Amino acid sequence: MAEEILLAHGQYISKLTLIPSTGGRYEVTVNGELVYSKAATKVFPELREIMEKVAAKLT
């Protein structure tokens, strides 16, 4: 998913960090703002969903 985000929005991204975790945690933040949390939704996101959320914050 990180590769797809960079390919689509690389011109807006100066840093992308992947942080390993345990317990099924999966969160995506943009500029420090949480845009998706698997802990909150209990569902692993589709790529399209994350791409839309990231795009909304970057553009």
- End-to-end C-alpha distance for the chain, whole angstroms: 19
9-44 tens-digit pLDDT: 999 999 999 998 888 889 999 999 999 999 999 999
Global confidence as pTM: 0.84
pLDDT at site 23: 85
Per-residue model confidence (pLDDT) at position 44: 93
What are the boundaries of each domain within the chain?
A: 2-58
Quick one: fold of 2-58? Glutaredoxin (3.40.30)
Predicted confidence band of residue 59 (pLDDT cuts 50, 70, 90): confident
What does the buried/exposed string (b/e) look like for 18-37 if buried means 16 or more CB atoms within 10 Å of the residue's CB?
Answer: eeeeeeeebebebeeeebbe
